[in-house]
Amino acid sequence: MDKKPPATVIVVDDDASIRGALRRQLQILGFNVLDFGSAEEFLTGEIPIGDACLLLDVYMPSMTGIELCRKLTEGGRHLPTILISGRDDPQTRKMMREAHPIASLLKPFDEKSLLRAISKALPNQMNLPH
Contact 58, 66 (CB under 8 A): yes
pTM of the model as a whole: 0.91
Nearest to 104 by CA among 123, 81, 122, 125: 81
User: Which CATH fold topology does 8-120 show?
Assistant: Rossmann fold (3.40.50)
Domain ranges, ordered by start, for the chain? 8-120
pLDDT in tens, the chain (130 residues): 456 778 999 999 999 999 999 999 999 999 999 999 999 999 998 888 778 999 999 999 999 999 999 999 898 888 999 999 999 999 999 999 999 999 999 999 999 999 999 999 998 765 555 4
